[in-house]
């Protein structure tokens, strides 16, 4: 029968496309298989219906199923099963609810310049003015780190945590969460100038990618002096054992 031939040929090609996945463990992506099968079915259909007799013969079983009065039982069963099948396929394809996609950028690109303390700071090339002490005067550097620690524990600990892991007392009430400074994928990836921008400008200074929720990070320009900001940055890196990225790498 021609209809069986049609189905058999298509099944053969389907098996051929599935074979690499089943036999060699290297499956062809299902979207590619769907696309190929579309062209194969259409081509086989074209070839098999190229003459009128061929077409009649191919569709005869379908026509008799739909028109022949003696086959009304089979027809009724088909007309019940078809919509149920369609409903099930829609149900299963839509049944996996995915959480909404989070578009927030945790580290949005900084602006070119930051206005603070009555000056404009070009962020490009901006260095921590206290950083050279680390090499030139280790004792003075240690003192700066200690003072930076005082700034931290007086102002930042409630949100960023006593261990600098972003788990301060207030952290749970926030969305976005306070950033941890521990771990090698946090401030170790940032330059000190980036932290300077984030600390003096805070959540209100974030560009749109920092949304949609408003960050609770305060802008510290009015509370801390410029030197205190650079000191607390020294402390955050020192305490967590991270190195800031420099302009050279």
Q: What is the four-CA torsion angle of 188, 191, 194, 198, rounded to 10 degrees?
A: 40
Task: List the one residue out of 141, 227, 213 whose CA is nearest residue 173.
Answer: 213
Tell me the C-alpha distance between 145 and 235, whole Å: 5
Q: In this structure, what are the phi and psi dihedrals at residue 47, rounded to the nearest 5 degrees?
A: -65, -40
Closer to ligand HEC by CB, 133 or 151: give it: 151
Which residue among 133, 145, 164, 199 contacts ligand HEC (CB under 6 A)?
199
For 83, how many CA atoms within 13 A lie in the half-sphere containing its CB?
4
Site string for ligand HEC, 95-124 (x = CB under 6 A): ------------x-----------------
Q: Which of 53-61, 83-91, 115-123, 213-221 is the region at the interface with ligand HEC (rule: CB under 6 A)? A: 213-221
Which are the contacts of 162, defined by CB distance < 8 A and separation ≥ 6?
Answer: 153, 168
Which residue among 114, 206, 231, 244 contacts ligand HEC (CB under 6 A)?
206
Closer to ligand HEC by CB, 61 or 203: give it: 203
| C-alpha distances out from residue 178 to 43, 203, 215, 224, Å | 59, 11, 8, 19
Closest separation in Å from C-beta 127 to ligand HEC = 16
Whether the Cβ atoms of residue 187 and residue 181 lie closer than 8 Å to each other = yes
Closest separation in Å from C-beta 208 to ligand HEC = 13
Which are the contacts of 1, defined by CB distance < 8 A and separation ≥ 6?
Answer: 61
Which residue among 155, 219, 239, 245 contacts ligand HEC (CB under 6 A)?
155
Q: Kindly state whether residue 17 participates in binding ligand HEC, applying the rule CB under 6 A.
A: no
Which residue among 218, 219, 226, 239 contacts ligand HEC (CB under 6 A)?
218
Q: Which of 52-60, 71-79, 131-139, 216-224 is the region at the interface with ligand HEC (rule: CB under 6 A)? A: 216-224
Closer to ligand HEC by CB, 115 or 169: give it: 169
Closer to ligand HEC by CB, 63 or 107: give it: 107
Which residue among 6, 220, 230, 237 contacts ligand HEC (CB under 6 A)?
220
The answer to whether the Cα torsion of 62, 67, 72, 76 is positive or negative is positive
Which residue among 40, 144, 195, 234 contacts ligand HEC (CB under 6 A)?
195
Whether the Cβ atoms of residue 230 and residue 130 lie closer than 8 Å to each other = yes
Closest separation in Å from C-beta 124 to ligand HEC = 18
| C-alpha distances out from residue 8 to 14, 15, 49, Å | 10, 10, 16
Cβ neighbour number for residue 177 with a 10 Å cutoff: 15
Closest separation in Å from C-beta 203 to ligand HEC = 4
Q: Which residues bind ligand HEC (CB under 6 A)?
A: 107, 155-156, 158-160, 170, 174, 176, 178-179, 186-187, 195, 198-199, 203, 206, 215-218, 220, 232
């Amino acid at each position: 029968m021609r209809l069986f031939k049609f189905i058999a040929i298509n099944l053969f090609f389907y098996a051929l496309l599935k074979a690499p996945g089943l036999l060699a463990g290297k499956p062809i992506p299902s979207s590619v298989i769907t696309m190929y099968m579309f062209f194969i079915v259409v081509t086989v259909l074209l070839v098999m219906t190229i003459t009128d007799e061929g077409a009649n013969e191919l569709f005869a079983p379908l026509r008799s199923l739909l028109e022949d009065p003696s086959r009304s039982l089979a027809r009724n069963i088909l007309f019940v099963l078809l919509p149920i099948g369609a409903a099930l396929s829609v149900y299963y394809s839509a049944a996996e609810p995915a959480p909404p996609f989070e578009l927030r950028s945790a580290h949005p690109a900084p602006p070119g310049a930051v206005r603070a303390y009555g000056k404009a700071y070009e962020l490009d090339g901006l260095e921590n003015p206290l950083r050279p002490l680390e090499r030139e005067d280790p004792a003075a550097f240690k003192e700066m780190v200690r003072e930076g620690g005082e700034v931290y524990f007086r102002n930042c600990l409630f949100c960023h945590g006593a261990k600098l892991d972003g788990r301060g007392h207030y952290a749970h009430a926030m969305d976005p969460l306070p950033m941890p400074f521990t771990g090698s994928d946090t401030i170790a990836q940032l330059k000190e100038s980036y932290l300077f921008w984030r600390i003096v400008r805070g959540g209100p200074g974030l560009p749109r990618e920092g949304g949609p929720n408003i960050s609770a990070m305060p802008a510290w320009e009015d509370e801390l002096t410029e030197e205190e900001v650079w000191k607390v940055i020294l402390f955050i890196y020192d305490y967590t054992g991270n190195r800031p990225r420099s302009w050279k790498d």
